[in-house]
Amino acid sequence: MIKNVRIEPVLNSRGETTIFAEIITNRGTYSASAPSGKSKGAYEAKAQPFEKIKKLFPAVRKKLVGLDESEFSIIDDTLESIGVDRMGSNLAIALSMAAVRAAGNGEAYAALGGIKSFPYPLGNVVGGGVHGGGLSIQEVLVIPVKAKNVREAIDTNFAIWHAVGNELGAHGITGRNDEGAWVATADEAETLGIVTNAAKKFGAKVGIDVAAGQLYKRGKYYWPSLGRTMSKSEQMDKILDFIKEFRLVYVEDPFTETDWESFAQLMKKTKILVCGDDLFATQPERLDIGVHRKAARAAIIKPDQAGLISKTLRAIHIAKDGGLAHVVSHRSGETCDTFIADLAVATGAPLIKCGISGEERVVKANRLAELWDKVKKPVMTKLRL
């Protein structure tokens, strides 16, 4: 039984205030903290400022105390009845994740059905957009497809990240961004050339997150790195050029979140993983539409976009049923919470996006390795590229 619930304001990796929540039961104390996005979608659940949450929290606490913690969906239902947007997705997801841990007596994966298989880490190597960097697109990513286990996969991503960092030395490297990806003055084509070469040496594949919603204004896409605006069809051509020239296997949010039609058109023109992040915003109803309209082959799953783990699981279920690969993902503002690693292994996610460099990213990779060792015959999830 839940004896008490408490929250605390803590800082995330960007220095913003986020929520740390603790659920105290007869068996123990279980905690979690909420991540925070910067490149947010219009359809995701809304976070609230701590001051507002503090005022509402006593009422939330009152409803949770006394509940049976063995079924986390009961706690989620209670949170849902209060209203996720009202209490803040940051409060809701911290409580919901802590509730899963309480149900699993500390091990989130146990409450989520156990360990199925292990995801390939989709690692952010060079960045841009609102996360900081010279690129207009937000992320240049690598997938260590040849890795036979998670440790090898993580090592490969780190080796590529180091190699690209050395290479970018001659291209105005200025540091690392919010997600620990390199920041340089090279443009998209130059950067993709460098990353593709490095990835090839390690047998890895390359992808991008365009985060096109951030470039979109009144029907057009503005690319600061190229100093030009692109129409919808020019945007389509640019993406297709990148796919062809750099043999990309993954493209996330190539168009803004309302443009189902362009996503569907791109799907017809390529066989690679077209992935929706802001497009779906981890909302089950939007995944339904996406499956129906054949708008994507992959879906980003960010628990805080949904606000509740039970809702996140519904979104994953629809994605899987519809034949989409689900990509469990961190946010750019992270804490050292490792919940997403458990969620990825328990749902058999083919990919996990948890960054490469930075303590708040590395802890997730370490959790994957720790879980790998818990299983008798661990396997990587089948990745169809």
- Interface with ligand PGA (CB under 6 A): 37-40, 138, 209, 211, 277, 329, 331-332
- Output phi, psi for 230, to 5 deg: -125, 140
Q: What minimum distance in Å lies between the beta carbon of 157 and Zn ion?
A: 17
| Cα–Cα distance for residue pair 214/251, rounded to 1 Å | 15
| Identified binder of Zn ion from the candidate list 44, 69, 167, 209, rule CB under 5 A | 209
Binding part of the chain for Zn ion, among 153-161, 179-187, 203-211, 306-314 by CB under 5 A, reads 203-211
Quote the least distance from Cβ 73 to ligand PGA, whole Å: 26
The CB-of-295 to ligand PGA minimum distance in angstroms stands at 17
CA 38 vs CA 31, 127, 278, 331, 333: distances in Å: 24, 13, 12, 8, 7
Specify the pairing of strand 228-230 against strand 325-329.
unpaired
Closer of 277 and 337 to Zn ion (Cβ): 277
String marking each residue 269-288 x if it binds Zn ion according to CB under 5 A: --------x-----------
Of 176-184, 205-213, 218-226, 351-359, the segment contacting Zn ion by CB under 5 A is 205-213
Q: Is 304 in the site for Zn ion (CB under 5 A)?
A: no
Q: Which helix (H) or strand (E) holds 170?
A: none
Active-site pick, 38, 40, 205, 302? 302
User: For residues 275-293, b (16+ Cβ closer than 10 Å) or e, as one string?
Assistant: bbbbbbbbbbebbbebbee
Tokens of 138: 């937000």
Compute the least distance from the CB of residue 353 to ligand PGA, in Å.
Answer: 7
| Per CB under 5 A, 179 contacts Zn ion | no
Place of tokens 């156990």: 114
Residue 37 vs 104, nearer CB to Zn ion: 37
**Calpha distance 297→325 (Å, rounded):** 6
342 binds Zn ion per the rule CB under 5 A: no
Q: With contact defined as beta carbons under 8 Å apart, do 345 and 370 qualify?
A: no
On the CB side of 128, how many CA atoms lie within 13 Å of its CA? 26
Residue number, nearest CB to ligand PGA: 37
CB of residue 142 to ligand PGA, shortest distance in Å? 15
16 catalytic? Reply is no
Counting contacts by CB under 5 A, is residue 44 touching Zn ion? no
Q: Please, what sign has the CA dihedral across residues 162, 118, 303, 4?
A: negative
Task: Say if CB 48 and CB 91 are below 8 A apart.
Answer: yes
Residues near 294 by beta carbon (within 8 Å), at least 6 away in sequence: 264, 267
Count of residues touching Zn ion (by CB under 5 A) = 3
| Residue closer to ligand PGA, measured from CB, 196 or 332 | 332
Nearer to ligand PGA, 138 or 283 (CB): 138
CB of 210 to Zn ion, least distance (A): 8
Smallest gap from Cβ 162 to Zn ion, in A, equals: 24
Q: For ligand PGA, give the closer residue by CB, 72 or 120.
A: 120
Complex with ligand PGA: residue 24 or 137, whichever CB lies closer: 137
Q: What angle do CA 228, 222, 211 make, to 5 degrees?
A: 135
3-state SS class at 301: strand
Active site residue 179: yes
Catalogue the E-assigned strands of the chain: 2-11, 17-25, 29-33, 120-121, 123-127, 139-143, 175-176, 182-183, 205-209, 216-217, 220-223, 228-230, 250-252, 273-276, 298-301, 325-329, 351-353
Catalytic residue among 22, 44, 167, 179: 179
38 is in the binding site of which of ligand PGA, Zn ion, none (Cβ under 5 to 8 A by kind)?
Answer: ligand PGA
Q: Which is nearer to Zn ion, 41 or 144 (CB)?
A: 41
> Do 176 and 182 meet the contact criterion of CB atoms below 8 Å apart?
yes
Binding site for Zn ion (CB under 5 A): 209, 252, 277
Give the residue numbers annotated as catalytic, written as ranges: 179, 302
